[in-house]
Amino acid sequence: MIKNDLLLRALRGEEVERPPVWMMRQAGRYLPEFIELRDKYDFFTRCQTPELAAEITVQPIRRFPLDAAIIFSDILVVPQAMGMDFEMRPGVGPWLEKPIRTLQDVENIPVVDVEEELGYVYAAMDLTKKELDNNIPLIGFAGSPWTILCYAVEGQGSKSFDKAKSFCFKNPIAAHMLLEKITQTTIDYLLKKVEHGANVIQIFDSWGGMLSPADYDEFSWKYIERIVNELSKVVPVTVFAKGCWFALEKMADSKASALGVDWTITPELARQFTGNKKTLQGNFDPARLLSPPEKIQELVVDMIDRFGTQKYIANLGHGILPNVPVENAQAFIEAVVNYKK
């Protein structure tokens, strides 16, 4: 049994004494102990070395009274397992030398054994679970099929992902074949994460907001929903789709336990669009963590007042920025932990 099950109770919609709190990308970037490891080991070495990934996962747990840990990894480990040789280039970010651009490229993508190709993730989870000692839940995650397609076709990050969108609009057969392959691999990957101790699964649709509502339905949501339908049989699932406020009403009718929201929508509208059917998670602007600690605490109290303490998980509206002072992250977390109505 998990000793602090506040997050799990909030995901089930049960009454809680205060909202649980964790932060997207809490494992890394802004912590001096993480920076020390970052300076010694490149990004994917950290992801692929179970001892390093486990250590990074628990670093923020040692510092802060967080209600969950999230395994240190990356959404690109899934396409890497599928034969796409992603690297992380300094000053560039994700880089794929040979992007997916044709039907033949898609057909050449193999069906893989996730345990064989991604065993290092499961080993990191096993080590992390021992370290956490059932004190708090462990969150496992994956990118949405659409978001993975964006990187696979574009070959790198982009402000518009116009190559990825063009690929889908000009070659829908190839696009849907690629999305199918990513979806099935992701389902297999996440089910295995649950076997290795993930108490919650989160799907990150980082680039869903690049699509129109109609295109979102076709190229993103239907694949996310398939993942949710499979995983929700065994574990609570949170869907975080950045910039996709327009899809909240549809998402509220899914089997997801929670929906993440970013800072571009008010708590009131998020509740209205979801009909209060779902636990909501978010939506503090990560840049607001650059405010003075007293201001951060004031804003956090206002955020909780507006979302309400029930069916709510306090979090950021996207990942924590690397230049956030540690004491500011602490101010955010403590404001939630000490919240009083």
Identify whether 151 is a catalytic site residue: yes
Q: Is 217 annotated as a binding residue?
A: no
pTM comes to: 0.98
Q: What is the pLDDT of residues 215-258, one digit of tens each?
A: 999 999 999 999 999 999 999 999 999 999 999 999 999 999 99
Q: What is the pLDDT of residues 155-192, one digit of tens each?
A: 999 999 999 999 999 999 999 999 999 999 999 999 99
Catalytic, 226? Answer no
The neighbour count for residue 289, using CB atoms within 10 Å, is 22
29 is known to lie in a ligand binding site: yes
Confidence of residue 151 (pLDDT cuts 50, 70, 90): very high
- Catalytically annotated residue among 67, 74, 205, 262: 74
- Catalytic residue check, 120: no
Q: Which residues contact 340 (CB under 8 A, 6 or more apart)?
A: none
Structural domains of the chain ordered from first start:
6-337 (3.20.20.210)
The catalytic position among 122, 151, 223, 312 is 151
Residues in the chain: 341
Say if residues 143 and 84 touch (Cβ distance below 8 Å).
Answer: no
Mean pLDDT score, 322-327:
98
Per the annotation, does 63 bind a ligand? no
What are the pLDDT digits (tens) for 89-136? 988 999 999 999 999 999 999 989 999 999 999 999 999 999 999 999
339 assigned to a ligand binding site: no
Tokens of 297: 């605490």
Query: Does residue 29 have an active-site annotation?
Result: yes
Please indicate if the annotation marks 212 as binding a ligand: no
- pLDDT number for residue 341: 76
The Cβ of residue 330 has, within 10 Å, a number of other Cβ atoms equal to 15
Distances 57 to 24, 54, 133 between C-alpha atoms, Å: 12, 5, 13
What's the rounded mean pLDDT across residues 280-309?
A: 98
Q: Is 74 a catalytic residue?
A: yes
The neighbour count for residue 237, using CB atoms within 10 Å, is 24
Q: Taking the mean position of all CA atoms in its chain, how far away is CA 254?
A: 18
**At 319, is the pLDDT very low, low, confident or very high (cuts 50, 70, 90)?**
very high
Question: According to the annotation, is 312 in a ligand binding site?
Answer: no
Number of Cβ within 10 Å of residue 189's Cβ equals: 22
Active-site position among 38, 63, 101, 306? 38
